[in-house]
Amino acid sequence: MDATALKDKKILVTGGAGFIGSNLTIALVKAGARVRVLDNLSTGRTSNLDECENDIEFINDDIRGESSLRTAVKDIELIFHQAAIPSVPRSIVDPLTSLEVNAQGTLKLLLAARDNGVKRVVYASSSSIYGDSPTLPKEESMPVDPKSPYALSKYSGERHCQLFSSLFALETVSLRYFNVFGPRQDPTSQYAAVIPKFIASIQTAEPLTIYGDGEQTRDFTYIENVVEANMLAAFSTGAAGQVINVACGSRITINELASFLMDVIGKRVDFRYLDPRPGEVRDSLASIAKAESLLGYQPKVDVWEGLRRIISWFSASSYVYEER
């Protein structure tokens, strides 16, 4: 997209110190936007924003707080809503917090945005809401079937976004992310995503833990593609009120992922196969036809190039070895 459209725009990024939020915040600052970040640092890190800390306004607070939301949305034109409690396994352990943050927090944000004249909210939804239907690729018109509290909470937020688009003068766009990976993704969390966790394990010569037989598939999506999709969604006239997949439109198995990472890093480790985790889907593959037609989206970085980039980033960083 033409990044000049963002110049001097007053933008709020919720969850802007997290993995996806920080990458988006940095890109927005580089495009000349005036960015405010709202993050309670429950999963984010201020160090993720070191690159732009002098160019943003940072509010250390929670999206569940109505007073903090009123402060955060004041004079804002556009919101990228990334704040969430991530992870399917975590939501099964603590479903109430997932509901409070992901569903109720989103509703409170939408109310604050409506009441303060925000033009558009771009909401981070999730491919997990499709559930475990064997039909591939996943198209936005398919019935949804959330299999975890996390998936259900993200779907609730998505539906509230659509209602606000139809009932009020607040445009919303919901982007269903498929297995996003890239720099600043935390490998040390108990609920770390598979790619940073695998890289950390290979680098420290620890066995790779694979849940299931490893033949389950994922449409892994490099962060640069996700940032681009968000920026496109901010201004695409036909996107208001829509739900749109964001992915690469290709898939690989977890076993293929593990082998490729070991080949590129140049180390071999053992595999440890455990029972599949409850709530996780077997196969995931997105149709990105709607993103192409409504947003003009095209993934710029395929999974293999993205994996090479993230290996290089982690290899040059101490991030893998930091404990929260």
Q: Write down the domain spans for the chain.
A: 3-180+223-247+285-301
Mean pLDDT over 163-185 rounds to: 96
- State the Cα–Cα distance between residues 221 and 292, nearest whole angstrom: 15
Rg (C-alpha) for the chain, rounded Å, is 19
Q: Are strands 208-211 and 56-59 parallel, antiparallel or unpaired?
A: unpaired
Domain 3-180+223-247+285-301 falls under CATH 3.40.50.2300: no
pLDDT band for position 279 (cuts 50, 70, 90): confident
Chain segment 68-88, per-residue pLDDT in tens: 899 999 999 999 999 999 888
pLDDT at residue number 187: 82
3-state secondary structure of 176: strand
- State the Cα–Cα distance between residues 164 and 162, nearest whole angstrom: 5
pLDDT at residue number 82: 98
pLDDT band for position 191 (cuts 50, 70, 90): low
pTM: 0.94
pLDDT at residue number 1: 62
pLDDT band for position 281 (cuts 50, 70, 90): confident
pLDDT at residue number 70: 93
Chain segment 2-41, per-residue pLDDT in tens: 668 899 999 999 999 999 999 999 999 999 999 999 999 9
pLDDT at residue number 315: 85
- 217 pLDDT exceeds 90? yes
Beta bridge partners of 283: 217
Whether 273 is a known active-site residue: answer no
pLDDT at residue number 280: 84
Closest alpha carbon to 295 in 243, 223, 218: 243
Q: What percent of the chain has pLDDT over 70?
A: 96
- 303 pLDDT exceeds 80? yes
Token output for 65: 């707080």
Chain segment 89-130, per-residue pLDDT in tens: 899 999 999 999 999 999 999 999 999 999 999 999 999 999
Catalytic residue among 123, 130, 150, 319: 150
pLDDT at residue number 317: 76
- 56 pLDDT exceeds 90? yes
Q: What are phi and psi of 32, to 5 degrees?
A: 95, 10
Dihedral of CA atoms 70, 175, 233, 294 in degrees, nearest 10, equals: -150
Q: Of the given ranges (43-57, 149-163, 191-205), which has the lowest mean pLDDT?
A: 191-205
pLDDT at residue number 77: 97
Mean pLDDT over 212-241 rounds to: 96
Token output for 107: 């509703």
- State the Cα–Cα distance between residues 250 and 252, nearest whole angstrom: 7
- State the Cα–Cα distance between residues 50 and 310, nearest whole angstrom: 19
pLDDT at residue number 125: 98
- State the Cα–Cα distance between residues 55 and 35, nearest whole angstrom: 8
Mean of per-residue pLDDT scores for the chain: 94
